[in-house]
């Protein structure tokens, strides 16, 4: 036993006790014959005192301690003369009587504190030092707690956590699989699961009734934005349920997490919005509802007055930023530049301020009379001091997405995206399919096992693109934290869906035969959903990137720079796997 | 909502209620104008009644129901005339008023009941049907519960569950890695972890203090006996601890599991045995202590009487099977055949019965006087009715292992290995190294991060083979359920150990540089252990194979016969990975 107490637990009540502590030297300073050392462990920081007058030799030893040395001390808890109310242990300090250096440390490549001087690359290379920083460790503590609470909730609801295999078969539908060559089956490959989708459906066929798993999933995608090649899913499935049952149960889980993790009581039901409305009013299937700025369509209001851009547009829509009429010309020009960036792709932006007297002053005044502008003002319910921003374009969906980006940017600028405020939402009634320009065919919007709404089934033959799915996403603050669907449990309907997705019966059989066969033996009605744990933790922790809640994340090239993985392997290993590496062009 | 109740919850108290149930048709039978259907779900079986006299049309429908059809019924709970005390729902039955077929089923390839007619291969191919059998599902329910209780216990003890990456670097030390080609880093490979050993040590360097994870691990080994290419580990690590701290904490966890899972109170401390004694007295580092039959060495007693086999032996030892003098000559011949099997490799077996009058009658009477045989009897503390079995050989360790096999076999025959009795044990003081004939060098018995006992460190230079490790295994009923060690936290000692294991400094740096570098920045003393979850669940469930507690196991060729994985992949996938498959000889 290297300690009797941790560095986070001593209080005034412990004064007079002799204790043994172990930890890292956070910092030390000398002051009038005294050496003060801040000793740190996971639980906190405790101040140690070495007094030259009382024990010169020991104090001499203490002066040699460097940052991040690992030490063990014995000493007496005393009241601190200058208390530090910011520290849990700020009432006390330890007069050290015995010091043992358990390990030395080289000078760390960056400072181990919340506002470190270490850049991103350096911190990732020395992630084991980065993780010593309280702000990073807290995220992983939160992650542990969230996973624990998810399990507690689902266990109480009768769910069984079942581990599904990591080495499965490759299914080219969807994203790209990571594959694993099999030595015992030369020339053949396992694949790592993109999700346990088909396996959890087989568990429903097996009568498991309520399944969940917190499970690693894998996608070999080019890593843009905030993606990782391996990520963690809270994967759930239930039998004999309809959409309403799933929404009720998992809304309950979300509320349980809000309560236990953030101590937030959500008593009301989450609002629900159809996919159609989400696109129409927010230009996104995951609208951020922490603030309003709902889209207003202006085709009726602004067309036909000689402003060619609008007159020729397929879509004209805008948002009203409350109280933002103070935006300067420069700020508005910057917003225009923002929407014209290639990632967004708008051609321009029209703005209008509502002045104190109620008049509207716009960037297109030469085309519009005050009368028309007042009609526009009325459409937004705009008031003096408000700023109206308008985009238009010849593709409704594309323009809405541009307007969505503008809405989020303006909200950022106005401080409306408070990380401690949460707006939860169910988006429902997703379309079954979306058209893929790249593939030249309809693709499943969720996945090919999603069931159509019963009333839309006749449309599968006549107008598949209009068929709505029994699919739903949980959205919090503009982040899709989870999503799922009621599945198809009828092998004939499943075959039809595969056909619409362009599978020949042979191809469908080859890839999903095991599932379609299973459906022949009494598949129950079932459905489920999956949450992205990384995203959800990030949201609760108020992080900008999922990387900060992952112990050992990979960079944008899929590399673990600390482990230096991936790397070359021995020829012997390649030979055993019957593999050759092709000439790689530099 | 497809049901108001499950098939396992209706009792006499529910009589008179109208309920909706959903489930599978277990079986149906007709009897005097009535059709009885057993409806099954995960929670139980409920008897449905269709009465021809009351509703002929409905009864007609019910007659068409086949086994494993999925149905939904509405009906009234009534008291059963002939109650079935073996069923939880045996007091009631449902008079059905409404029947909906939710899905039909083809005739299953085997019967869905505990004593199924399905063979192993068929059951694995249709695992989703096999999992419908209560005896299989119960194992997975137990697994869920064990994992849940492990997490509860460790959470209470301040452990954080941290997910470590699945895509890491390859480390040729140890078993063979599964590797994953990286598309984004052509010609390079990730490896799947054989265990998160180095990562959890990095978490200790990071100050996480108490870590655990229930985690999939991977080994590409030829699958003899009861192995799976992917298996689940309860992986734990602690800082600022000594061996005693770890043993105390994890013995507590074991007791918690015995209590919560099996309702067994273990109040005493687990016995501890050195590796040396385990080998000497049981010929195994995982002795089964549910029964005695400790080895007795007989070199002093039986050498030098002209029986060449013993006179030339390096080791003579035996066991005493209480009350087994009734073994017939035929049974004894079979035991002799057993030990002579090539897997065991003994040359022969000597036996001796203690007769009712106390005389000893042996198979080598012509060499030994009753006087000597009585001395032998005394060495065993044998009594009338006991059977003594003796092996000898020219390699002490080999002969002990043969005697261990004999001891287990005899115990099996005598019914001494009761699956509902548990004998727990810590085996401690393992040697650091074992000699590998194959590699022609010392190999780490645990792994290269295990620390030597401080008092044995000087022997590293003079006699490394005699150095004992701070390593420990938890053994229950002859199964190693877990094991671990205090780790090295000093980079110089670690370098020395790598050298003894035959690593050049360059090779050590290449493979474990990230860990040795981390140790330069203040590594705390730390240690841990890992449990095999599959083994532990099997033990608690009384299973003969770990396969039975895994939802979707692989066969001995590493194949998932249900998914038909691994399989060939598209040329496009290979091209993207810069891989060619070599010509494979048939």
Tell me the domains of chain A and their CATH numbers.
12-103 (2.40.50.140), 138-272+424-549 (3.30.930.10), 291-413 (3.30.1360.30)
CA-CA distance, A179 to B178, in Å (whole number)? Answer: 10
Least CB–CB distance from B168: residue in A151, A242, A560: A560
**Do B141 and A160 make contact, defined as CB atoms within 8 angstroms?**
yes
Q: A31: which 2 tokens?
A: 């002051």
Chain A residues with CB under 8 Å of B129 CB are: 205-206, 521
Cβ–Cβ under 8 Å, residues B99 and B51? no
Positive or negative: CA dihedral B150, B151, B156, B157:
positive
Q: Is the pLDDT of residue B4 over 90?
A: yes
pLDDT score recorded for residue A26: 96
Which of B165, B191, B204, B221 is the best residue to mutate to test the A interface, defined by the most A CB atoms within 10 Å of its own CB? B165
Chain A residues closer than 8 Å to B148 by CB: 151, 155, 161
Pairing mode of beta strands A272-274, A424-428: parallel
Q: Residue B92, SS3? A: strand
Q: Quick check: A73 and A48 in contact, CB under 8 A?
A: yes
Question: What pLDDT band is residue A261 in, cutting at 50, 70 and 90?
Answer: very high
Instruction: Report how far Cα B367 is from the mean position of its chain's Cα atoms.
Output: 45
Q: Mind listing the pLDDT tens digit for each residue in A454-511?
A: 999 999 999 999 999 999 999 999 999 999 999 999 888 998 999 988 889 998 888 8
Of the two residues B503 and A277, the one the predictor is more confident about is: A277
Q: Is the CB of A129 less than 8 angstroms away from the CB of B182?
A: no
* A269 phi-psi bin (left φ>0, alpha ψ -120 to 50, beta other): beta
Contacts of B132 in chain A (CB under 8 A): 206-207
Calculate mean pLDDT across residues A365-383. 97
CA distance A493 to chain B (A): 12
Averaged pLDDT, B430-456:
89
How buried is residue B191: exposed, middle or buried, by Cβ count under 10 Å (0-12/13-18/19+)?
buried
Partner residue facing A70 (CB), from B141, B522, B582: B522
Angle at A527 (CA atoms; ends A462, A169), nearest 5 degrees: 90
- pLDDT tops 80 at residue A22: yes
Nearest chain A residue to B514 by CA distance is A563
Query: In Å, how far are B38, B82, B93 from B48, measured between CA atoms?
Result: 6, 14, 6
Which pLDDT tens digit goes with each residue over B143-162? Answer: 999 999 999 999 999 999 99
- In this structure, chain B runs to a length of 586
CB-CB neighbors (< 8 A) of A573 in chain B: 170, 172, 176-177, 179
Which range is least confidently modeled, A116-125, A548-557, B166-175?
B166-175
Average pLDDT over residues A563-573: 91
Residues of B in contact with A103 (CB under 8 A): 489-490, 519, 522-525
CB-based contact A207 B181, cutoff 8 Å: no
For chain B, percent helix, then strand, then coil, each to nearest 5?
30, 25, 40
Model confidence at B224: pLDDT above 80: no
* Pick from A221-225, A520-524, B244-248: least confident: A221-225
pLDDT score for A585 = 62
Q: Return the pLDDT at B172.
A: 66
Over 60: is that where the pLDDT of A586 sits? no
Which of A160, A183, A579 is the closest to B579 by Cβ? A579
Taking CA atoms, what residue in A is nearest to B155?
Answer: A148
Q: How confident is the model at residue A412 (pLDDT cuts 50, 70, 90)?
A: very high
Cβ-contact B518, B205 below 8 angstroms: yes
Q: Residues B317, B322, B327, B329: is their CA dihedral positive or negative?
A: positive
pLDDT tops 90 at residue B265: yes
Mean pLDDT on B193-198: 95
Judge: A521–B126 Cβ closer than 8 Å, yes or no. yes
Question: For residues B212 and B234, is the Cβ–Cβ distance under 8 A?
Answer: yes
Neighboring chain A residues of B579 at a CB cutoff of 8 Å: 579-582
Tens of pLDDT, residue by residue over B314-334, are 999 999 999 999 999 999 999
Q: B199 contacts in A (CB within 8 Å)? A: 551-552
Q: Answer yes or no: is pLDDT of B586 > 60.
A: no
ipTM above 0.90, yes or no: yes
Query: pTM for the full model?
Result: 0.95
B302: its two tokens: 């039986």
Distance separating alpha carbons of residues B70 and A114, to the nearest angstrom: 58
The mean predicted confidence, pLDDT, of chain B is: 95
What is the distance in angstroms between the Cα of A287 and the nearest Cα belonging to chain B?
29
- The SS3 call for residue A189 is strand
Whether B105 and A522 lie within 8 Å, measured CB to CB: yes
Would you state the structure tokens that stand for residue B329, as one six-digit string? 């000559």
| Residues of B with Cβ-Cβ distance to A243 under 8 angstroms | none
Number of H helices, E strands in chain A: 17, 23
What average pLDDT does the segment A232-260 reach?
A: 98
SS3 label, residue A336: helix
Q: Is the pLDDT of residue A171 over 80?
A: no
Mean pLDDT for the stretch of residues A174-190: 91
Dihedral of the alpha carbons of B413, B415, B418, B423, in degrees to the nearest 10: -80
Asked if the model's pLDDT at residue B585 lies above 70, the reply is: no
Query: Considering CB atoms only, which of B141, B514, B580 is closest to A563?
Result: B514
Name which of B108, B109, B240 to mutate to probe chain A: the one with the most chain A Cβ atoms within 10 A of its Cβ: B240
| Nearest residue in chain B measured CA to CA from A572 | B172
**Using the beta-carbon criterion (under 8 Å), do A207 and B132 form an inter-chain contact?**
yes
Tokens 């020009």 sit on residue: A333
Q: How far is A101 from chain B (nearest CA, A)?
A: 10
Q: What mean pLDDT comes out for the span A113-127?
A: 92
Q: In sequence order, what are the residues at sequence separation of 6 or more whose Cβ sits closer than 8 angstroms to the Cβ of residue B231?
A: B216, B217, B218, B219, B532, B533, B534, B546
pLDDT band at A241 (very low <50, low <70, confident <90, very high): very high
Chain B residue numbers with beta carbons less than 8 Å from the beta carbon of A192 are 166, 180
**pLDDT, averaged across chain A:** 95
Name which of B518, B133, B317, B230 is nearest A127 in CA terms.
B518
Cα distance from B467 to chain A (closest Cα, Å)?
Answer: 23
Residue corresponding to tokens 């520290």: A87
Decide: A96 and A74 in contact? Cβ < 8 Å: yes
Specify whether the CB–CB gap between A27 and A38 falls below 8 A: yes
Please answer whether residues B164 and A512 qualify as being in contact, where contact means their C-beta atoms are separated by less than 8 angstroms.
no
């Amino acid at each position: 036993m290297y300690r009797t107490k941790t560095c986070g637990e001593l209080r005034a009540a412990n004064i007079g006790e002799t204790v043994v502590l172990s930890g890292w030297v956070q910092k030390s300073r000398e002051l009038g014959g005294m050496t003060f050392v801040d000793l740190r462990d996971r639980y906190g920081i405790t101040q140690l005192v070495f007094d030259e007058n009382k024990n010169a030799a020991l104090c001499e030893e203490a002066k040699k301690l460097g940052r991040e040395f690992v030490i063990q001390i014995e000493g007496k808890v005393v009241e601190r003369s200058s208390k530090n109310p910011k520290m849990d242990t700020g009432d006390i300090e330890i007069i050290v009587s015995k010091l043992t250096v358990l390990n030395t440390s080289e000078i760390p490549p960056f400072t181990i504190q919340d506002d470190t001087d270490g850049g991103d690359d350096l911190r990732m290379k020395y992630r084991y030092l980065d993780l010593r920083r309280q702000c990073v460790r807290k995220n992983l503590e939160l992650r542990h707690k969230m996973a624990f609470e998810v399990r507690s909730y689902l266990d109480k609801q009768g769910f069984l956590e079942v581990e599904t295999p990591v080495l499965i078969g490759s299914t080219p539908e969807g994203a790209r699989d990571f594959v694993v060559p099999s030595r015992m089956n030369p020339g053949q490959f396992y694949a790592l699961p993109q999700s346990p989708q088909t396996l959890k459906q087989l568990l429903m066929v097996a009568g498991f009734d309520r399944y969940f798993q917190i499970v690693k999933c894998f996608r070999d995608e080019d890593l843009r934005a905030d993606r990782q090649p391996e990520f963690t899913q809270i994967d759930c499935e239930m039998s004999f349920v309809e959409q309403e049952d799933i929404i009720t149960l998992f809304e309950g889980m979300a509320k349980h997490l809000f309560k236990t993790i953030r101590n937030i009581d959500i008593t009301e039901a989450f609002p629900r919005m159809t996919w159609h409305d989400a696109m129409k009013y927010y230009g996104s299937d995951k609208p951020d509802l922490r603030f309003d700025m709902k889209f207003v369509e202006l085709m009726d209001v602004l067309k036909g007055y000689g402003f060619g851009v609008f007159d020729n547009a397929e879509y004209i829509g805008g948002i009203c930023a409350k109280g933002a009429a103070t935006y300067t010309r420069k700020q508005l020009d910057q917003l225009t530049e923002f929407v014209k960036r290639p990632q967004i792709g708008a051609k321009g932006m029209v703005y209008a301020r509502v002045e104190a007297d109620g008049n509207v002053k716009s960037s297109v005044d030469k085309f519009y009379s005050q009368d028309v502008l007042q009609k526009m003002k009325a459409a937004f319910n705009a008031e003096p001091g408000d700023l109206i921003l308008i985009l238009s374009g010849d593709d409704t969906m594309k323009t809405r997405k541009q307007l969505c980006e503008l809405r989020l940017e303006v909200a950022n600028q106005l401080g409306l995206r408070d990380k401690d405020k949460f707006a939860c939402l169910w988006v429902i009634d997703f379309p079954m399919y979306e058209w893929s320009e790249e593939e030249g065919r309809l693709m499943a919007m969720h996945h090919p096992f999603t069931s159509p709404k019963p009333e839309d089934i006749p449309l599968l033959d006549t107008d598949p693109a209009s068929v709505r799915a029994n699919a739903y996403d949980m959205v919090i603050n503009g982040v899709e934290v989870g999503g799922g669907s009621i599945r198809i449990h009828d092998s004939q309907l499943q075959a039809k869906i595969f056909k619409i997705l362009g599978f020949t019966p042979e191809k469908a059989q080859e890839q999903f035969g095991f599932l379609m066969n299973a459906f022949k033996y009494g598949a129950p009605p079932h459905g489920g959903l999956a949450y992205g744990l990384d995203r959800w933790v990030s949201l609760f922790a108020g992080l900008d990137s999922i990387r900060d809640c992952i112990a050992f994340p990979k960079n944008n090239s899929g590399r673990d720079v600390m482990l230096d993985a991936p790397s070359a392997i021995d020829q012997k290993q390649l030979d055993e796997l019957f593999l050759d590496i092709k000439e790689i062009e530099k």
